[in-house]
Amino acid sequence: MPLPDEPATLLGNLTPAQFMRRYWQKKPLLIRQAIPDIQAPLTRDELFELADSEDAESRLITHFRKSWAMEHGPFAPDELPSVKKRDWTLLVQGVNLHDDRARALLDRFRFIPDARVDDLMISYATDGGGVGAHFDSYDVFLLQVHGKRRWRFGAQRDLSLKEGLPLKVLQHFEAEEEWVLEPGDMLYLPPHIAHDGVAEGECMTASIGFRAPSASELSGQFLYHLAERLDDAHSAGAKSAKGVQRYRDPAQPAVSHPALLPPLMIERVGAILANIEWDEKDVASFLGTYLSEPKPNVVFDPPHRPLNENRFIERAKQSGLKLDKKTVLLYDKHAYFMNGEPDLMSGKLRKWLPELADKRYLEGKRFVTLSGDSSMTVLLHEWYCAGWIQVDANA
């Protein structure tokens, strides 16, 4: 993981700090040999195998006889076109959730906060294959991992899309730049840059994608989070019936228009809603919970024969701990968020949890110092039994 002020080959010898200042969310950057001697994290056959599984999200996009078509996976091997046929591509989303090499590749980009990371997608294309000229609403690093792809892109204003197609294809596309990327080359694109990548021969591209929730998604999810918090507070105070704030209307007059919404009700409910309060802690707790929530298709794999707590402690002392590749662990000053579950950051936790979250592993010798505290080892053992962390940081 590159440090903010160290020049990184990955960024064409810019430091991450320079990259973020000059390019991130601002303008495209082509980096030749960002990862020299790169090996595709998965072979073609391994990618096809993943596309055959229910756990992974995959799409097949074909452009046969100039007509765009899209299908959603899973795909049995005989449901994919022949690799000898031109003009098709298979996209597999969230490969980092299924493969440690893909996870390791994604981790090279952790100079960007985890809260912003979406996933690592891998595409396979035969000659001429691609997804058409389009734009994305998110930042992306397009890393060529096998074969060649011709990228054309530009910052055009007109982002209108062709109608009636199963995928987003720009109506008018004019490229300002054009480059052929070879294995190890990488193109960074900020949101809304029009782009089109066409395979030159068989190729594979890894996309490191980011998440940027819309204001309406954030508002909706935040209000939902707040409502749950209010519910919790209410059930805690429910012992005294008076503790629950409820609509009342002792001043309601008799009506001759029973279907009319009572103006008094609108006013009173407005007053109840205006009383909803939140502060920065609520925002942080919402963000931590929401952004660390496992994606809908994520299933953790608990160990088949879990070590008991004592043996777990002994093993962790020797070889350390690491977060499972599917785990999202975020934290702030007050709390931590483990796979969507918030909890307070106690003084004891503060000694090691931020380190585990930032590095995604904890060395054995670091574990030795906390192994005497049973409240901590019980917690870590629970996480281990849930499949959220693993013993053996080196494996």
State the nearest-atom distance from the C-beta of 123 to ligand SIN, in Å: 3
- Residue choice 207, 289, 339, 390 for contact with ligand SIN (CB under 6 A): 207
Q: Which does 187 bind (CB under 5 to 8 A by kind): Co ion, ligand SIN, none?
A: none
Structure tokens at 361: 């592993």
- Residue choice 10, 102, 131, 391 for contact with ligand SIN (CB under 6 A): 131
Q: Rg of the chain's alpha carbons, rounded to an integer?
A: 26
- Residue choice 52, 71, 107, 136 for contact with ligand SIN (CB under 6 A): 136
User: In the complex with ligand SIN, which residue's Cβ is closer, 199 or 353?
Assistant: 199
User: In the complex with Co ion, which residue's Cβ is closer, 148 or 229?
Assistant: 148
User: In the complex with Co ion, which residue's Cβ is closer, 133 or 349?
Assistant: 133
State the nearest-atom distance from the C-beta of 141 to Co ion, in Å: 11
Stretch that binds ligand SIN, among 123-131, 168-176, 245-253, 296-304 (CB under 6 A): 123-131
> Distance between CA 149 and CA 199 in Å, rounded?
4
Stretch that binds Co ion, among 88-96, 129-137, 166-174, 246-254 (CB under 5 A): 129-137
Residues 80-109, interacting with ligand SIN (CB under 6 A): 89
User: In the complex with ligand SIN, which residue's Cβ is closer, 204 or 329?
Assistant: 204
Residues 134-193, interacting with Co ion (CB under 5 A): 136
- Residue choice 205, 285, 292, 390 for contact with ligand SIN (CB under 6 A): 205
Structure tokens at 304: 């088949």
Ranked by CB distance to ligand SIN, the top (closest) residue is 123
Structure tokens at 72: 């959603």
User: In the complex with ligand SIN, which residue's Cβ is closer, 3 or 212?
Assistant: 212
Q: Which does 51 bind (CB under 5 to 8 A by kind): ligand SIN, Co ion, none?
A: none
State the nearest-atom distance from the C-beta of 128 to ligand SIN, in Å: 12
Stretch that binds ligand SIN, among 17-25, 130-138, 161-169, 249-257 (CB under 6 A): 130-138
> Distance between CA 337 and CA 349 in Å, rounded?
12
Q: Which does 289 bind (CB under 5 to 8 A by kind): Co ion, ligand SIN, none?
A: none
State the nearest-atom distance from the C-beta of 144 to Co ion, in Å: 14
Is residue 52 near Co ion by the rule CB under 5 A?
A: no
Positions in the binding site for ligand SIN (CB under 6 A): 89, 123, 130-131, 136, 142, 195, 197, 205, 207
